Structure formats: C-alpha cells, structure tokens
Amino acid sequence: MLDINLLRENPKSVLDDLRKRGDEEKEAWVDEVVKKDEEYRKFLQESQQLRKKRNEITAEIDKLRREKKDTKTKIEEAKKIPVKIKEIEAETVKLKERIDFLLMRLPNIMHESVPVGEDDSENVELKKWGKPLKPKFKMKPHGEFLQEAGLADFERAAKVSGAGFYFLMGDLALLEQAITQFAIRHLVKKGYTLVEPPLMIRREAYETVTDLDDFESVMYKIEGEDLYLIATSEHPMGSMYMNEIIDEDKLPIKFAGISSCFRKEIGAHGVDTRGIFRVHQFNKIEQFIFSKPEDSWRLHEELLKNAEEIFQALEIPYRVVSICTGDIGTVAAKKYDIEAWMPREGEYKEVVSCSNCTTYQAVRGNIKIRRKNGDKEHAHTLNSTAIATSRALRAIIENFQEEDGRIRIPKALQHYMDGKEFIGGKK
C-alpha cells in the first residue's frame, strides 16, 4: 500500500498516477484519504490530551494514597475520563479503518517509463528473440495431443479433481522435472538461495503481498482454518520478512522459490488453453528479491535477464513486453512480461511476469531496512517468474514437435533426461 506520508506531502503525485491509469473512481479516494487523515489526527490529539489528563490524575491519586489521604473525590473525577476516551477512540478507530481500507486499495505509483495505455492491447513490445515459426503440418492443440500420446491424462484428472487439473505421465513428467532442475541450477549458480516455502499461509501474511481482490477470485481457502493455498511462491517469500528490519549489508536478498501454485480463477477457455496451459494447480520457479531502493531498478532488469536466459537456453522464441498503465495492476510500479511463441495459435503467450513493487508490499508488510547510520526506510521488493513449468511445457511441445509426433528436447535439458533427445511419438 501507499505510505500515508506520500498522501500528506504530495497527494498530487498520487492523483497524476491515477489519471495515467484512467482510474476515475479512485481519484476521489485521494481527497477522501487526505481529509479523513486530517480529521483522524485531530481526534488522535484529542484522545491523547485526555489520556494525558487521566495519567496526571492517576498520579495524583497514587500520591494521595501514599500519603494516606482521602482519594475519593479524585477517583470520582477520574472515572469520567475513560468514558470520554472511549467515545473519541471509537471515532478515531472508525476513521483509521476507512483510511486503511482506501490506502490498501490505492495502487502503487508507477515508474515514469511505464507506457500509457488502456488495456493489454497497448502493452509495448521491447524486443524479440528467436524465430517464430508456424508449423509445417496440422498441429493438434497441445491438450488433445498429450492425451492421445499418453503423456498426460486430463480425462481422469477431471474425474478425480474436476476441470483444470492434469496428470503428467511418463516422459512428460520427467521433462517437467528436467525444466525444474535446469531453472534451479541456473539461479543457484547466480547466487540465488533456493527456497521451498509453505504452500498455505495466513490471511495476515497474505495481505502483505497481494491485491485484496485476489482473495475472492484467485485464492483457495482452507475450510475452517485461517489458511490460504498460495497462488505463487512470491507470496510466502514476500511475507517472510514481515514486521522485520533488515540490516542494509544483508541486502539484496535473492531467492529462488519452488512450489506448486493454486489458482481458482483460470480465465478464458479454448482448445489451446485446455490441457496444461490454464490450470488450477501448476509448478513454478519464482525469483524474489528484497532490495535497497537505490538498487531495485537495476535488479528488475537482472530478474528479466535471468528469465530470458532460461528461455534462450530452452530455444523457445519469445518477446518482451512492457505492461501498460491500464494493465499493470495495483502492486507493481513496473512490469515486464515475457511471452513465448506458440506456433499452433501463431501468437505470443505470457509465460513470465517480472515486477518491481518498490515499497508497496514493504509498507503493507512493515518490512524495513536499517541503514548503517541507524536510519530506517521501507525495503523494495521484486518478483519475477523464472519459469512456470506448465507454460514452458506447452511451448516446448508446440515449438519442437515433429510431424511424426515426437517432441525434440532442448539440449540444455537432455542432461536431466538421461540424454533423451526426443519424447513421445509412435511406440
């Protein structure tokens, strides 16, 4: 969330940002927050004055008591004060709740380089890598292909768990493990610490990291428990340091999280997303960084580079887009997506999302940096997919499929597949 001090000192910067987003509803919130905050501080001062008075009388009572004098009249006087304090505090709490409600929902201030645009159609392509080729033969949708090849079983997954789940079978499951191993090695070599996080976290922790609307639309809640299945390992990693102060010489902290991810909302359906592309459960290696503010923009580029290197090693053609103001969401200050080439559809599809969240998550989670001189300030947090295996699998299946139904395994992965150069095909 935004720091209240920003709204006190420079509400115009918040307004200007909302205008870039085209979010008229929230423009009114800025004014409301500023007004309610002024009111809140007035009430706060009033209740502090009352507390001061109460403390004074209480001290007098104690003095009289020690001197063995009569305290009755003073106690009678004192009794009136807590009633008043309660009244004023009820108002104070109400105002604070409303301020926090709005503050939690106001989006992050975007970086000036974020392109202005209404929706995802106005995201800006920054670069392309590899040659996007159309198949030379009639290629089946990947879901149908995998089912027929015996490499996945969606029908039985539906029987057991419903739509949006998969059984990966045999060599495809092996390929999934190979991708995972490759990505882990890649990041660990670069000094990232491998993290296996809890797959369920509490609401309080969750509120540190995510857009609040996600609780309704994305997250699975465990019945009868204050626990939510994580939608990405970004969430447990991001909330890991909540309410902590990190010494500046420990930064940046670089994590490579590995986890299953669970999502209720799986969005649009169609032959090309049915299968393993849009699912309720998938696996992902995620990069996460806690950094000093002055380092975060450099590290944002580093995260993107790491993810690009992985896709280059897998020989998958892709492009990088800069997400525009209308599509960026509430948390990120700047976001890149990597979109992999999907030959059957002849389109680039999102496989990586790389964000600098600046202080937005750190303010919510109360995550601070302690400078050498003792000063404190909020940390910056960044996250980026390294690779989501299900999405990478589809890209591999489509980009490296031969007419006879075999799938060529990228060289970088063969080592992790006992040297196999192909999977699938006629037995």
The contact set with RNA (CB under 7 A) reads 4, 41, 44-45, 47-49, 51-52, 54-55, 57-58, 61-62, 65, 75, 78-79, 81-82, 245, 372-374, 376
Q: Which is nearer to RNA, 47 or 180 (CB)?
A: 47
CA-nearest of 245, 208, 202, 205 to 1 is: 208
Shortest reach from residue 98's CB to RNA, in Å: 16
CA angle 170, 175, 176 (to 5 degrees): 100
* Residue 406: how many other CB atoms lie within 10 Å: 16
The single-letter code of the amino acid at 26 is K
Measured from the CB atom, the residue of 221 and 319 that comes closer to RNA is 221
Identity of the residue, 54 or 221, whose beta carbon is nearer to RNA in the bound complex: 54
Closest approach, Cβ 184 to RNA, in A, equals 21
Task: Report yes or no: 333 and 322 within 8 Å, Cβ to Cβ.
Answer: no
Which of 83, 23, 97, 19 lies closest to 47 in space, CA to CA?
A: 83
Q: Which is nearer to RNA, 11 or 130 (CB)?
A: 11
- Give the residue with the Cβ less far from RNA, 30 or 299: 30
CB of 58 to RNA, least distance (A): 4
Query: In terms of CB distance, is 57 or 124 closer to RNA?
Result: 57
* H helices, E strands: number in the chain: 14, 15
Closer residue to RNA, CB minimum distance, 89 or 302: 89
DSSP SS3 for 196: coil
Q: Considering the complex, state which of residue 88 and residue 357 has its C-beta at the smaller distance from RNA.
A: 88
Pick from 317, 354, 337: nearest CA to 126: 337
C-beta of 110: minimal distance to RNA in Å?
A: 24
Nearest distance in Å: CB 269, RNA: 35
Token representation of residue 162: 């419903």
Nearest approach, Cβ of residue 51 and RNA (Å): 3
Which one, of 43, 129, 29, 138, lies nearest residue 92 by Cα? 43
Helix axes 154-161, 142-149, angle to 10 degrees: 100
Query: Rounded to whole angstroms, how far apart are CA atoms 304 and 386?
Result: 9
195 contacts 237 by C-beta, under 8 angstroms: yes
- CA–CA distances in Å: residue 410 to residues 1, 29, 310, 317: 42, 51, 11, 12
Tokens linked to 289: 């960084």
The nearer residue to RNA, 372 or 427, going by C-beta atoms, is: 372
Shortest distance, CB of residue 208 to RNA, whole angstroms? 15
Q: Is 132 exposed, middle or buried (0-12, 13-18, 19+ CB in 10 A)?
A: middle
Strands of the sheet containing 193-195, edge to edge, are 124-129, 318-322, 334-342, 347-356, 380-388, 281-291, 253-262, 193-195
Write down the least CB distance from residue 205 to RNA, Å. Answer: 11
Tell me if residue 10 falls in helix, strand or coil. coil
Query: Residue written as tokens 């990405």?
Result: 232
Nearer to RNA, 49 or 217 (CB): 49
Rounded to the nearest whole angstrom, what is the least distance from the CB of residue 365 to RNA in the complex?
14
Helix ranges restricted to H, 2-71: 4-9, 11-21, 24-66
Rank residues 62 and 100 by Cβ distance to RNA and give the closer one. Answer: 62
Question: Minimal distance in Å, beta carbon 305 to RNA?
Answer: 35
User: Measured from the CB of residue 14, what is the shortest distance to RNA in angstroms?
Assistant: 17
